[in-house]
Amino acid sequence: MTAACLMSTYQPLSLSFARGLGSRLWDQAGREYLDAIAGVAVTGVGHSHPKVVQAISDQAGLLLHSSNLYDIHWQQQLANRLTRLAGMDRAFFNNSGAEANETALKLARLHGWHKGIEQPLVLVMQNAFHGRTLGTLAASDGPAVRLGYGQLPGDFLKLPFGDLRALESAIAEHGPRICAVLLEPIQGESGIHLAPTGYLKALRELCTRRNWLLMLDEIQSGIGRTGRWFACQHEGVVPDVMTLAKGLGNGIPIGACLARGKAAELFTPGSHGSTFGGNPLACRVACTVLEIIEEQGLLANAERQGARLLQRLREALQGHPELLEVRGLGLMIGIELRQVPRDLVQKVAREQGLLINVTRGQTIRLLPPLVIDEAEVEMIVQGLVRALNWR
């Protein structure tokens, strides 16, 4: 079989999986692997969870699509559950994280327009990643993902992540144009960087005082990954807009943009839409994912096993000549190294039956399923120790 007919947007390994169950995957030859990346924070409740399989099977035999011209029962059920969990008022459903962030950016523009701002400005963060559409690329950072796309949509101002003084400078120079702030509570693609303690609270107070929208991208950090439903809940912060995707569908494509207060009233009929967004299959699966997380106590498990994994990694890698830092929250962990022979480290890990990811060239990113247990935590630690002692 050849990949010659596929556009060259990826550099996939010559490794193909035939099936998965829980935290494990099996390749075409039947070899077993521990999946410590979970499809990049997607399969939070594990591969082939029986309740997810049943929900897909049942709904496929009933109704896949009717369009948003009609009420969709499962869409309303999911909106009710998500808004309750997040402390929000309304939801809009689409198909991906990038689309969810595009929705948020449209809300920011409308908010600015209602304030009478001719050229509304959205504050975003250096080293952020919000998606691969032209709008979300403009809001993201990093030359590699932007190269060759010419003039991207403007009206974004990039600030250092976690720097309140930079916010003050932005206000002094651009205050009347600013209408919103968009950021990840934990920057994922850039190497698992946590917002400093108190930063999100300070942003919340600032946005309230200046009538800006606080918009949090919880696409990678949400749906239980950090031991709370959403990472912002560790500081008791409720944004005006929140975006979700990845773990919400456990592999079925779905994105969501939640909003509250005035932000939830900005869209009117015809001002936004999605052909496939919020279809019965995706919404039923997402409802099932939320049920599984609650029934199996996976928030507590993510918190417990994440703390264990952080501690064991710090113990096992202490004194390693290449180690700079082990950081993270819950099951969202980064191991930053001085130099990473990326392909070699991932190859040695695979030989140990461990699937990992290296992001931004020097940080090993771990995003294991929320169902992981103590024995699997130790398997990750030992596999990484061997992978990092390649010499």
Which residues are known catalytic residues? 129, 217, 246
State how far the alpha carbon of 182 is from the alpha carbons of 37, 154, 187, 238, in Å.
25, 14, 12, 13
Give, for all 391 residues of the chain, the pLDDT tens digit. Answer: 456 888 988 888 889 999 999 999 999 999 999 999 999 999 999 999 999 999 999 999 999 999 999 999 999 999 999 999 999 999 999 999 999 999 999 999 999 999 999 999 999 999 999 999 888 988 998 777 777 887 788 789 999 999 999 999 999 999 999 999 999 999 999 999 999 999 999 999 999 999 999 999 999 999 999 999 999 999 999 999 999 999 999 999 999 999 999 999 999 999 999 999 999 999 999 999 999 999 999 999 999 999 999 999 999 999 999 999 999 999 999 999 998 787 888 899 999 999 999 998 889 999 999 999 999 999 999 999 999 986 5
153 half-sphere exposure, CB direction, 13 A CA radius: 17
Q: Per residue, what are the HEC states of 50-68?
A: HHHHHHHHHHHCCCCCCCC
Domain topology for 17-48+297-388: Aspartate Aminotransferase, domain 1 (3.90.1150)
State how far the alpha carbon of 20 is from the alpha carbons of 28, 42, 311, in Å.
11, 13, 28
Tokens of 94: 């689409």
Highest CATH level, class, for 63-295: alpha beta
Q: Which segments of the chain belong to CATH 3.90.1150.10?
A: 17-48+297-388
Query: Is residue 262 classed as helix, strand or coil in its secondary structure?
Result: helix
- Phi/psi for 187 (5° steps) reads -75, 120
- Output the pLDDT for position 219: 98
- Output the pLDDT for position 152: 80
Q: Which segments of the chain belong to CATH 3.40.640.10?
A: 63-295
Rounded to two decimals, the pTM is: 0.95
Query: Is residue 268 classed as helix, strand or coil in its secondary structure?
Result: coil
Measured distance CA(27)–CA(40) in Å, rounded: 18
Tokens of 197: 């303690």
